[in-house]
Structure 1
Amino acid sequence: MDILVDALTTVISGLHKTIRRSFSDSSSFSLTELQTIALINRNGKILPSELATKTKITTPSMSQILKKMEMRGIINRQSCDSDKRKVFISLSKAGKDIVEQARFSRNEALKTLIDARLNVDEIKILEQALPILQKLNA
């Protein structure tokens, strides 16, 4: 079982990195910027300090990323009603469009990998394994 767990961890991590690299290479955003946009999208609205913690970068570095995103019209800032010192970050329409484009690019990157590296029989096996993998993700 340990060998299976190690192998799955390595494969999943490597596949994730390969996909991220392949679509981030064609993007004008760094991986950290894409990760930040994805986190904002998942959370709806989030504090800059939470973004810094979740992306494992310093708060000043996150501030610079957010400033750049704001200048590009990707994010909105909204003061907290109960504490005016806090400012929540959310995605603008342009930011949401980037999420959709990134999702499309990611899917295309994976499709390209599958087409290039797997034969028809391997694709069928992968399709059969999908319900099992989905159980692990439930």
Structure 2
Amino acid sequence: MTATDPALTGLAQGWCALSLLHGRIETRIGRALESGHGLSVREFSLLDVLSRQHSGPGGHLQMKEVAEAVVLSQSATTRLVTRLEDRGLLRRYLCDTDRRGIYTDVTEAGLALLDEARPTHDAALRTAFEEAAANPVLAPLVRTVQELHAAV
């Protein structure tokens, strides 16, 4: 396969379109969250992931799982957790059954901010998808995402 191979070129164009769609969505959501709630997209995502934990078996995520869920390295996730903990939005504690394990929960203040920010996030996401749907390059990706959502 060469760099001018039509299959590779098509794959590369698809990847560029996907990257463009992601970037536009993240930028739209980031601006809305930052201006309305003082949150970055990553901070919102972290609060959202951690708010879905539960007390049942396997309900609390290890830092590695949290990092995978928010698509960050473990060290970047730890720094993000520290920033949100310093703001009083998260708290860390030792696992009862394994003293090496450290878990993180969203505080009441974090849950309140997440609840306040969620409509802003959702509205920005809808707007970003509506704008992308008007772009002929991005419209097929938007349809695919909508089909995936409908199937779930």
Question: Structure 1 length as normaliser, TM-score?
Answer: 0.63
2:29 touches 2:41 (CA, 8 Å); kept in 1?
Answer: no
CA distance in 1, matches of 2:110, 2:86: 12
User: Given residue 76 of structure 1, which amino acid in structure 2 is its aligned partner?
Assistant: R
User: Given residue 38 of structure 1, which amino acid in structure 2 is its aligned partner?
Assistant: D
2:94 touches 2:102 (CA, 8 Å); kept in 1?
Answer: yes
CA distance in 1, matches of 2:50, 2:62: 9
Secondary structure at the counterpart of residue 25 of structure 1: helix
Match of 1:25 in 2: 31
Segments of structure 1 that go 5 or more residues without pairing to the other structure are 1-6, 119-128
Secondary structure at the counterpart of residue 100 of structure 2: coil
Q: 1:94 to 1:137 in 2, by over 3 A?
A: farther
User: In the comparison of the two structures, how many residue pairs are matched?
Assistant: 128
Match of 2:108 in 1: 93
CA distance in 2, matches of 1:88, 1:135: 31
Question: Structure 2 length as normaliser, TM-score?
Answer: 0.58
CA distance in 2, matches of 1:111, 1:63: 30
Secondary structure at the counterpart of residue 103 of structure 2: strand
Secondary structure at the counterpart of residue 50 of structure 2: helix
Secondary structure at the counterpart of residue 89 of structure 1: strand
Match of 2:10 in 1: none
Match of 1:58 in 2: 74
Match of 1:68 in 2: 83
Q: 1:136 to 1:107 in 2, by over 3 A?
A: closer
RCO higher in structure (CA 8 A, sep ≥6): 2
1:40 lines up with 2:55 in the alignment? no
- The offset of 1:58, in angstroms, is 3.1
1:81 lines up with 2:87 in the alignment? no
CA distance in 1, matches of 2:113, 2:100: 29
1:19 touches 1:106 (CA, 8 Å); kept in 2?
Answer: no
- The offset of 1:80, in angstroms, is 1.0
- The offset of 1:82, in angstroms, is 0.7
RMSD between aligned residues: 3.9
- Between stretches 78-87 and 40-49, larger displacement belongs to 40-49
User: Given residue 24 of structure 1, which amino acid in structure 2 is its aligned partner?
Assistant: G
Segments of structure 2 that go 5 or more residues without pairing to the other structure are 1-13, 55-59, 135-142
